[in-house]
Structure 1
Amino acid sequence: MTPSRARSHSTTSPAGSRAAAGRTLRGLLLTTYGFSEFGVKAGQAALVAYLAALVMFLLSVAGFFHAWITPRAQPFAPIEAVPDREQINA
Structure 2
Amino acid sequence: MINEIRDNLGDFEIIDGLEEKLALCRQSMEEVDLKLRREKLSPEGRKSLERERNLLMTKADNYEKELSVLRKENRKNAALAVAMVLLIALIYACWTM
Shorter chain as denominator, the TM-score bin is: 0.5 to 0.7
Question: 1:52 — aligned with what?
Answer: 80
Which contiguous aligned blocks of 4+ residues in structure 1 show a shift greater than 4 angstroms? none
* Higher helix content, 1 or 2: 2
**Code of the aligned partner of 1:32:** A
* CA-based RMSD: 1.1
1:39 aligns with one of 67, 77, 80: 67
Find the structure with the greater CA-based Rg.
1
What runs of 5+ residues in structure 2 fail to find an aligned partner?
1-40
Q: Supply the distance in 2 between the matched residues of 1:20 and 1:58 (Cα, whole angstroms).
A: 57
| Percent identity over paired residues | 12
What runs of 5+ residues in structure 1 fail to find an aligned partner?
1-12, 70-90
Q: TM-score, normalised by structure 2?
A: 0.56
Q: Supply the distance in 1 between the matched residues of 2:56 and 2:86 (Cα, whole angstroms).
A: 45
Q: What does 1:3-82 correspond to in 2, within 5 Å?
A: 14-69=42-97
Q: TM-score, normalised by structure 1?
A: 0.61
Question: 2:13 — aligned with what?
Answer: none
Q: Aligned to 2:72, what secondary structure does the other structure show? A: helix
User: How many residues in Structure 1 have an aligned counterpart in Structure 2?
Assistant: 57
Q: Supply the distance in 2 between the matched residues of 1:27 and 1:15 (Cα, whole angstroms).
A: 18
